[in-house]
Structure 1
Amino acid sequence: MSAAVSGAAKSAATTTAQSAKKNTVYLFRHIQTSQVLVSLKSSIEKQSLKQIADVTRRPAHVRPDHWHPLVAIQGFSRPQDALSFHNSLRDHQLNLHAAKVANPEHIAQPRRLRAPQEMNQVDSTLVKMVELLNNQPNKGKGMQILWEREGVRKSVLEKEGEDVKPLLEGFEHGELVIKRGRDIVNA
């Protein structure tokens, strides 16, 4: 009888872990260009590259050794909340490029100066992430933000100042455990 109970408990624990994984949003950064991709999976797929609007700046294929996990946000109460958050961040990425291209001062710069500015998406994406997390219905209750390293979290605090500190204090924070430089172990 105890084997059946432990099997049922194991099955329930596996189901809970799988549903928690479905309610996780991942951000990945390109180690050379600082571009950011948002994913609902713990790895990058080729279709994720469509988030990079400028075709000339888009890698031809996914090289897993070039995309490093940046942040994992766990604990969305429903899969729909995670999907909505994912879509909002993805739309931000697309709009960010459109806004830069529409700016005449930006376009007036030589291409060699424009390119790094257009590809550097880490700071703006993290600021938008914090803004979107502030609008979540459960706003920190049971949610955890796993950071690539503590320095990334501190850089967000320095960018936004006092507006971000109360939000980030309402969430549980941890460090992403990464194996082989790119495989997420704890999210």
Structure 2
Amino acid sequence: MKHNFHLYNFEKKFNPGYIEKLFFFRHVATSQVLISPQVNMKNRYLRQTLNPALRSYQLRKDLWQPFLGVHGLKSEASRISLLNYIRFRLENKPKPPDYYQQPKRIREVEDMKEIEYTVLAFCEGIKELLKRKLEDPDQSQLLLFWESMSRINIPQEFGVEWPAIVSHRKLWLRHGRMIKNEELLGEPRKTVIVTKKEPPSKPKSEILSKANPKK
């Protein structure tokens, strides 16, 4: 099944250093999810929330916390296909039996709970990549970094197992939202040490002549 969700075409020109990575952010109050190709989100990613009534108008970074980092995607085709699959599954998320009998405000709260179903769709999406041969079961290796390791078990609750190409790690955060894992940040920047240039030393004879001036 082919899906095409244009909101995930993040940039017209992709930075090759970001092709293998994805970052999943959760809203600390509503449990909405945004996905970014880099550690820093941008305002336009808010358009991933299709319902304008549930969409924030301004990105407040203090309200969005990374809960999953992905490293090891093989190509840009893998990344876009995976994102399209996740969005397709979220658009078609099953509703509770009494969903339409509930008040609108209750339905909106339910619609904003995206973390659990996003993780399930992500797991299914990786299997879809293997099925379409966008990832190699013998060579691909995906590292998943989790803010909460308990979320690893979400797919199993729906009867879905993680593919063999997946390995799980702990996502380390500073101040609750700044990623510390070097695998997700790329190569550390080289530190340039600037030293103060010393003035050239004066000849010893000149120093002595100044200390003992002629009368």
CA contact (8 A) 1:20 1:75 kept: no
Change (3 A) 1:112 1:59: same
Which has more helix, going by share of residues? 1
Q: Does 1:121 align with 2:120?
A: no
Change (3 A) 1:176 1:20: farther
Partner SS, residue 62 of structure 2: coil
CA contact (8 A) 2:120 2:154 kept: no
Q: Does 1:131 align with 2:130?
A: no
Moved over 3 A (4+): 18-21, 90-93
Higher relative contact order (CA 8 A, sep 6+): 1
Where does residue 47 of structure 1 map in the other structure? 44
Larger radius of gyration: 2
Change (3 A) 1:42 1:96: farther
Identity %: 23
Q: Deviation at 1:149? A: 1.7
Where does residue 160 of structure 1 map in the other structure? 158
Q: Deviation at 1:104? A: 9.5
Partner SS, residue 70 of structure 2: strand
CA contact (8 A) 1:70 1:147 kept: yes
For residues 22-68 of structure 1, the C-alpha deviation after alignment (integer angstroms, 9 at most, x for no partner) is 31111111110011111111122111111111111111211111111
Q: Does 1:87 align with 2:84?
A: yes
Query: Scaled by the length of structure 2, what TM-score is found?
Result: 0.66
Unaligned runs of 5+ in 2: 1-14, 130-134, 185-215
Which residue, out of 35, 38, 45, partners 2:35?
38
Query: Scaled by the length of structure 1, what TM-score is found?
Result: 0.75
CA contact (8 A) 1:72 1:146 kept: yes
**Structure 2: how far apart are the matches of 1:20 and 1:142?**
17
Partner SS, residue 144 of structure 2: strand
CA contact (8 A) 1:40 1:86 kept: no
Where does residue 168 of structure 2 map in the other structure? 173
Aligned residues: 162
CA contact (8 A) 2:68 2:147 kept: yes
Q: Deviation at 1:129? A: 0.4
**Structure 1: how far apart are the matches of 2:92 and 2:45?**
16
Change (3 A) 1:74 1:35: same
Which residue, out of 51, 55, 65, partners 1:68?
65
